[in-house]
Amino acid sequence: MTTRRSEVVFIDGVRTPFGRASDKGMFARTRADDLLVSAIIGLLERNPTIPHDRIDDVVIGAATQTGDQGLTLGRVAAILAGLPRSVPGFSVDRMCAGAMTATAMAAGSIGFGMYELALVGGVEHMGRHPIASGADPNPRFLTERLVGEEALVMGATAERIHDRFPHLTKQRADHFAFRSQEKAAAAYAAGDIQRDLIPVAHATDAGWNLAVRDELPRPDTTVTALATLKTPFRPHGRVTAGNASGLTDGATAALIGSASLAEELRLVPRMRLVSYAFAGVDPEIMGIGPIPATEKALRLAGLRMSDIDCFELNEAFAVQVLSLLDHYDIPDDDPRVNPWGGAIAMGHPLAASGVRLLIQLSRHFQKHPEYRYGLASMCVGLGQGATMIWENLSSKARKR
């Protein structure tokens, strides 16, 4: 008895506009599960040929799994989105890598022949669920010095990267942040971002409104303005609100499936999964997690960094992206890196962000048939990194 192993392909992905997580943010009165359901319905509506009962699982990442992000969110969302009752669902948590983990685990099931089609995604309403809210860290963390006091303060872990790599200066971080805003603005101007946004009606104190764009980008920011921002994690520190991603509300959803199912349903998948890897580092310096994860993913793929044509790196903090680039001797402003900007401009709704990276990577592939391999990576709280490597299915390079 053998199982039917399969290639895993990325079919389509969407997200809600990302809102500022604050009681004045556009989604302050919108539930997390409703955001997620909007993304799911929007995704299914624009893929009308996919029979809903063929979805083998709904796998959703959320860093906080209580309240409107509780009750095993994948199943909740499936019911709320009107999927057939026969479609199961569950939630996963790997903090910021929730959606990426959801994708990887569902991909594993597809690759092993257990699933043919999975709906993956993530949601984080950081306004309703501040990071680590409700958590009760074990006192042994501190009494036995298992982790440093600042390990749970993400901004402090980013400062730690500056400590370890003094040549990754605040000026470089600010410049990277400035470029992120600039690139995001350009992508918006070109209509690249909006095509994958599902508009969300949201109640406000002054009537219903329709969210059609991200709320966080600051296209008018300047390097000079960034330089003047406060460093909330340390006096005279380096990490500012400007060179870090903002607190964000948002949801993402994507469809991945087996290559044979895509063929059967005459879908045009955009990319093929090559490898994925998760790795751990010291929690106090969690932002360098992508380095070992990427090394592992490359090794599993049998590729070298020079084989990668395009990068989607989650910009939790500018310095944390710089540390990965620096490790591989990639210039700060390499055009292959985050061509449409990143989380510093658009926001980072923790467990939702992984799928945003994949959506954008798949769009870069479509735009650049000459690209063959792309890499998405992100750092994860408590000292982890996550990396996925995908192959462009519209790639001319592939035929070489």
Quickly tell me which residue has 């990427």 as its tokens: 294
190 binds other proteins (CB under 8 A): no
Distance of CA 207 to the CA centre of its chain: 31
Longest CA pairwise span in the chain (Å): 65
* Per-residue interface string for the shown chain with other proteins, residues 132-161, x marking contact by CB under 8 A: ------------------------------
Residues in the chain: 400
* Per-residue interface string for the shown chain with other proteins, residues 81-110, x marking contact by CB under 8 A: xx----------------------------
Q: Give phi and psi for 262, each to the nearest 5.
A: -55, -40
- Is 348 considered catalytic here? yes
- Is 310 considered catalytic here? no
Quickly tell me which residue has 């501190």 as its tokens: 142
* Per-residue interface string for the shown chain with other proteins, residues 12-51, x marking contact by CB under 8 A: ----------------------x--xx--xx---------
Gap between the Cα atoms of 276 and 259, Å rounded? 18
Q: Considering the complex, state which of residue 52 and residue 336 has its C-beta at the smaller distance from other proteins.
A: 52
- Is 96 considered catalytic here? yes
Which residue type sits at 228?
Answer: T
Encoded tokens for 59: 């796998």
223 binds other proteins (CB under 8 A): no
Q: Considering the complex, state which of residue 31 and residue 218 has its C-beta at the smaller distance from other proteins.
A: 31
Q: State the catalytic residue, choosing from 129, 162, 310, 379.
A: 379
Q: State the catalytic residue, choosing from 96, 175, 364, 368.
A: 96
71 binds other proteins (CB under 8 A): no
Tell me if residue 171 falls in helix, strand or coil: helix
Q: Cβ of residue 210: shortest distance to other proteins, in angstroms?
A: 5
Gap between the Cα atoms of 146 and 224, Å rounded? 40
Tell me if residue 206 falls in helix, strand or coil: coil
78 binds other proteins (CB under 8 A): no
79 binds other proteins (CB under 8 A): no
Gap between the Cα atoms of 36 and 19, Å rounded? 13
228 binds other proteins (CB under 8 A): no
Closest CA to 152 of 379, 381, 320, 350: 381
121 binds other proteins (CB under 8 A): no
Contact range with other proteins by CB under 8 A, out of 85-93, 141-149, 206-214, 323-331: 206-214
210 binds other proteins (CB under 8 A): yes
Encoded tokens for 395: 């790639």
Question: DSSP per residue over 185-202, as a string?
Answer: HHHHHTTTTGGGB--EEE
Q: Cβ of residue 201: shortest distance to other proteins, in angstroms?
A: 4
Those residues whose C-beta lies under 8 Å from the C-beta of residue 108, and which sit 6 or more positions away, are none
Which residues are designated catalytic?
96, 348, 379
Give contact residues for other proteins (rule: CB under 8 A). Answer: 34, 37-38, 41-42, 80-82, 198-201, 203-210, 212
